[in-house]
Chain A
Amino acid sequence: MARSVTQQRKIINTAAAWAVGLLIFFPILWTILTSFKTEAQAISDPPVFLAFDWTLENYSVVMERSNYMRFLWNSVIIAGGSTLLGILIAIPAAWSMAFVPSKRTKDILLWMLSTKMLPAVGVLYPIYLIFIKMGLLDTRIALVIVLMLINLPIIVWMLYTYFKEIPGEILEAARMDGASLRDEVLYVLTPMAIPGIASTILLNVILAWNEAFWTLNLTAAKAAPLTAFIASYSSPEGLFYAKLSAASTMAIAPILILGWFSQKQLVSGLTFGAVK
């Protein structure tokens, strides 16, 4: 009796959850579908959902016409470069905070977080001016530096959380067994820290890839990443829905896939450990 009620409830739950999930996902699904239509089908009235002639033409047109590869490459360099640079700077900092904590560790962590709260528009002109003076406006280096700095607090914070979970006793045990410092770092610490470092990298690549204030304001033609490439579609000419969809699909696909892998780390990473 009780069991059949549960079963029935489970069916209702499943139906409701899938309906809501598909509704939320629908704009993305619709974009992906539209990217395989011809321009005429993309705006046909009434709209067609699946019964259209699937074509890859939009993808080849977008790639040929707009130097798509250059924007993609800029995105990869900017997101990857800023994350790696940030990781290199953050690892020693997080390491020392986790293993040699002092009275001020907490204050430093909170202060780092507070720099993240600085509204970008408040410092837009100074940053703009500095990069003009240094001849770095519209270069990938400028964006690598800026995105590294805005994400550094999150990187330090996430790594700190992961490192703190590594028990110090294990290090002591290794030392007692005669491991040298090099062995200790290489064979004991690193393997334990790799999952944490990997998920930190993942989340920060996502954040940097999607960042759309500095990437729009500090780039023009040369260093513009995919965020700016897509924004250039905002003043369209003629038929363009299918091409817009193809460009959008290509811009979000890599991150959607990475994102699905990182969803477990997302919560602790984005709330700075305030929600576990």
Chain B
Amino acid sequence: MATQHSRSAARIMMAPAVILLLGWMLVPLIMTLFFSFKKYLPLRGGDLGWVGFENYVRFVTSSSFWPSVLTTLVIVGGVLLITVILGVLLAILLNQPMWGQGMVRILVIAPFFVMPTVSALVWKNMFMDPVNGLFAHLWKFFGASPVEWLTQVPMTSIIVIVSWQWLPFATLILLTAIQSLDGEQLEASEMDGAPPLARFAFITLPHLGRAITVVVLIQTIFLLSIFAEIFVTTQGAFGTRTLTYLIYQRVLESQNVGLGSAGGVYAIILANIVAIFLMRIVGKNLDA
């Protein structure tokens, strides 16, 4: 039974975590907001005074803004499409009776544990290199001329790399969801003569709806801020500059902190829109 005494003890026990996270959230956020209304160039004169919403307007009207939004959307959308579709198929396959299921699971999950800089470099050099990459050998073997992956089709290349990293996550979550599917329902529909495709469309897929939503939301939040994959492969060149990378370049490379901070505020707003939907689902589950 919770007494008055235990309640105040509980509050004290929670305090460190709450205070730290509150500080972690508020202090940088307020500073970013503060800088976003200033002309602030640390290497060229420092704080040059308040400029109102000028940074916000300049960030959106700069020629690199809309391309970066498009790049971000294409990468996020492409990776989501690939990982969700392949994830569902893979989850169904892994859920079938087979020998060595545990071992296959381990093989499939492995890419998730590879640090982003490693996977980007391995793909860039050992697979996508136009001279020595494995793809080049494969293309030559079939008589085609090798593709310069990261310069000719940079977006496809990055989507492939990032999808490889995130497919395990989608598969694992969808597999967990599929395993909670009622086998008798499927069996009954099979007895009633429902073809496999109909069984998939009317029983399996609706059951997976929630898990797919969770995968999409969580991945979106992480994919909106992918950094290392671009940093290591193209450095934002060849039209692969995402919103995150654009802000990073404004802040650290060209040291235009005011402009970068305004961009940061846009990124925060964007992430929060996605987060609201995710929180609703998580919150609902907390009640159950």
Contact = CB atoms under 8 A, between A and B. Distances in A.
A227 B116 contact: yes
Contact of B221 (A17, A117, A259): A117
Given A46-B141, A89-B17, A227-B228, A271 B214 contact: yes
Interface residues of B, number: 104
Interface stretch (A58-66, A126-134, A136-144, A185-193): A126-134
A120 interface: yes
A231 B90 CA distance: 31
B279 A110 contact: yes
A259 B112 contact: yes
A14 B94 CA distance: 9
A134 B28 CA distance: 15
Given A13-B97, A92-B13, A267-B176, A25 B231 contact: no
A125 B21 contact: no
B14 A125 contact: no
- The secondary-structure label for the interface of chain B is helix
A230 B259 CA distance: 31
Which one of A18, A21, A276 has the greatest number of beta carbons of chain B within 10 Å? A21
Interface string B10-29: 11011011101100110111
B225 A256 contact: no
B222 to A, nearest CB: 10
Given A22-B107, A34-B126, A244-B121, A121 B225 contact: yes
A219 to B, nearest CB: 13
Interface stretch (B49-57, B58-66, B244-252): B244-252
B110 A152 contact: no
Nearest to B280: A110
B220 to A, nearest CB: 10
Contacts, number: 300
B152 interface: no
Interface string A257-268: 011100100110
Interface string B252-279: 1000010011001101101110110011
Contacts of B225: 119-121, 213
A274 B252 contact: no
Contacts of B270: 119
Contact of B108 (A25, A27, A109, A259): A25
Contacts of B147: none
B199 interface: no
A118 B105 CA distance: 32
B132 A106 contact: no
B104 A10 contact: no
Given A20-B108, A95-B13, A125-B35, A109 B286 contact: yes
B93 A271 contact: no
A270 interface: yes
A272 B21 contact: no
Contacts of B274: 117
B69 interface: no
A28 interface: yes
A100 to B, nearest CB: 4
Given A13-B97, A119-B244, A263-B109, A102 B7 contact: yes
B115 A210 contact: yes
Contacts of B73: none
Given A120-B227, A130-B28, 17 more contacts: A10-B98, A17-B93, A24-B167, A89-B20, A96-B10, A96-B13, A110-B283, A117-B272, A119-B244, A122-B271, A125-B35, A126-B28, A213-B228, A227-B116, A266-B109, A272-B282, A275-B211
7 contacts: A27-B119, A210-B114, A212-B228, A227-B115, A244-B125, A260-B109, A267-B172
